[in-house]
Structure 1
Amino acid sequence: MSKQPSDRDTRSALFNQSIEKSFAILRLFGAQHSQLSLSEICRLSGMSMGSVQRITHTLEQLGYLVKDTATRKYRIGIEIMTLACQYLEADLLVDCANPYLSDLSNHCLETVSLTEPSGLDMVYVARFTSRRYIPIHMPIGSRVPMYCTASGRAFLSAMDETKIRRYLDASERIAYTPATLTDVDELLALIQKCKRQGVAWNNAEYYLGDLNIAAPVLNAAGEPVAAVHITTPSSRWTLEAALEQLSPPLIECAHAITKAARTRN
């Protein structure tokens, strides 16, 4: 679970730990753990067998988990998609952005996405995929760290230096590839450079062969609320060429989404 950068980690007396445990179990499932037994859930979650049995039974009854009758292992249920869909349907920004994202993708013939912040990560909420080859598939709902991705750096670039440093200090800053920047001062200098240019970028810092450039989307108060980014393989574009040719339509798209969202509000 990704947290907001904070000086203190405090919880209200109203905080419900049973609900927290339920979501903790749901978060265990993914590409690495598509199916889990009760004992595996206990081991990964650190919860007792009694708690795991009660929670998994409830989640199964609600449709958020499904149990394989042969293996007796659990997997994520299709009902979870309803919750995600409800978020997207209620998200005004996604609704405003979709036409502009589509236009940008058609214009540059590359994959275009919209991401929104969640703690120290950016989450994909809209994506228009190019017919042309891209090295990595990122489904809606995928999370990427802010510090080493174009979308995250674009989001951070619209903040003041103090806030940027707080986010960077709170990030784990893993070196995912040999190109990943992890030093806070170097990252801060890069993000300030991105701010001056109006676009942010990363070149094979999260996935090898993956090149992205991004621009922030702002609310009426001038605060960042999302980022638009273009994804392309480094075999098709150099960073210099992408910044020169793709930055103008990207910035135009981000500004159009910003204006449309403010009008709708």
Structure 2
Amino acid sequence: MNRQDHQENGGEAPVSGTESGTESDEKSARPDPLFNQSLEKGLEVLRAFSAVHRTLTLAELAGLTGMTKSSAQRTVHTLETLGYVAKHPQTRRFRLTPKVMEIGYNYLSADALIQVASPYLSQLANASGETANLTEPVGLEMVYVAQLMTSKYIPVLTPVGMRIPMYCTSSGRAYLSKLPDDQVMAMLEDSARVARTPSTLTDVAAIFERVVACRKVGYACNNEELFLGDMGVGAAIVNSQGQAVGAVHVSPPASRWSMAEAQKKLAPMVIECAWAISRSIAH
């Protein structure tokens, strides 16, 4: 009986292991016909600029993005023509222009979570006396999407748009605490887990313990693991299905707080803020 006869009689067509594996490998190796590589290159160039690389030459951009110099030149020229990149007439170095902020602003203005969370972040900042932050997940990191600052000194500037790793931050661990164990472990394994400070936990099992502890008490901590002098107390925000969509955290400096004091006084406020936002977006 041939393959067609077998299928018409209600059976499954026999497929050899070699054929199945080969077809699967070929499919995974095939390029996505809808994927636009030119757009990818443009975004890579924009992401190449940072606090470390405020201005870049064409050769430096090519090196950071892995492009050939001619490809980088075409991409940068297009971005320059569109107004997202500018070149200094004397140094010939490129920099981002304020127009790049349009893209980020469009996201912030359309994000309903930010609008819902803003009054609660304000309450948290006023009650705690510390800057209140809202972060959302992007891959293995959390990105700052809203921030209510106080007039008190903060040791580290963490502006909206900044990304921080999940594995060593209170907001990241709080977010992870709402995920299944296997997913948490996979994400921790995939994280670079660099020792940012002498206090940074890099062992997967040790970090996982902190995530599990967060499930029990409702908040997660970071004791100078990302930046020296900077701590964190965070709690997850969940939607009506109980799925984590972000996190709230405050960053009490070690110069004003001990970790024990922060846990005792700030943690209940952070938990209440996250709960209020979660309740609001569920309706």
TM-score by length of 2: 0.88
Which residue of 160, 165, 170 corresponds with 2:180?
160
Trace 1:20-35 onto structure 2 (pairs within 5 A).
Answer: 20-35=40-55
TM-fit CA distance, 1:11: 6.5
Which residue of 51, 58, 67 corresponds with 2:71?
51
Q: Deviations over 1:28-71 (max 9, x none)?
A: 10111111111111122221121111111110111111111111
Matched letter for residue 63 of structure 1: G
TM-fit CA distance, 1:10: 9.1
Q: Deviations over 1:193-235 (max 9, x none)?
A: 1111100010010100101100000011101000000111112
Trace 1:191-206 onto structure 2 (pairs within 5 A).
Answer: 191-206=211-226
Unpaired segments ≥5 residues, structure 2? 1-27
Trace 1:164-183 onto structure 2 (pairs within 5 A).
Answer: 164-183=184-203
Partners of 1:155 and 1:202 lie apart in 2 by: 13
Partners of 1:43 and 1:37 lie apart in 2 by: 10
Question: Aligned pair in 2 of structure 1 residues 10, 166: CA closer, same or farther (>3 Å)?
Answer: farther
Q: Aligned pair 1:108/2:125, yes or no? A: no
TM-fit CA distance, 1:262: 2.0
RMSD after superposition: 1.4
Partners of 1:171 and 1:75 lie apart in 2 by: 30
Q: Aligned pair 1:187/2:198, yes or no? A: no
Unpaired segments ≥5 residues, structure 1? 1-7
Q: Deviations over 1:133-152 (max 9, x none)?
A: 11100111000000000010
Q: Aligned pair 1:228/2:248, yes or no? A: yes
Matched letter for residue 200 of structure 1: A
TM-fit CA distance, 1:13: 3.0
Matched letter for residue 98 of structure 1: S
Q: Deviations over 1:132-183 (max 9, x none)?
A: 1111001110000000000100000111211110110110100111100011
SS of residue matched to 1:207: coil
TM-score by length of 1: 0.94
Which residue number corresponds to residue 79 of structure 1?
99
Q: Which moved more, 1:38-47 or 1:155-164?
A: 38-47
Trace 1:58-73 onto structure 2 (pairs within 5 A).
Answer: 58-73=78-93
Matched letter for residue 87 of structure 1: Y
Which residue number corresponds to residue 15 of structure 2?
none
